[in-house]
């Protein structure tokens, strides 16, 4: 959950990421993460 103060660009000191154990999980999780404004996003 993101705080209510979360801006449209995210916070420069916060990285948001997901774990994807395989292509199926990546295909499900990446669109969700991609829809969240963040300065840095990552997939592990």
Residue in the structure block whose two tokens are 């829809």: 35
Phi/psi of residue 18, nearest 5 degrees: -135, 155
Q: What is the pLDDT of residue 1?
A: 84
pLDDT tens digits for the chain (44 residues)?
889 899 888 899 999 999 999 999 999 999 999 999 999 999 99
Looking at the DSSP assignment, which residues form a beta bridge with residue 28?
none
Instruction: Show the tokens assigned to 36.
Output: 């969240």
């Amino acid at each position: 959950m993101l705080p209510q103060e979360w801006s449209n660009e995210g916070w420069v000191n916060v990285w948001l990421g997901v774990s994807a154990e395989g292509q199926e999980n990546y295909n499900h999780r990446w669109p969700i993460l991609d829809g969240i404004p963040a300065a840095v996003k990552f997939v592990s």
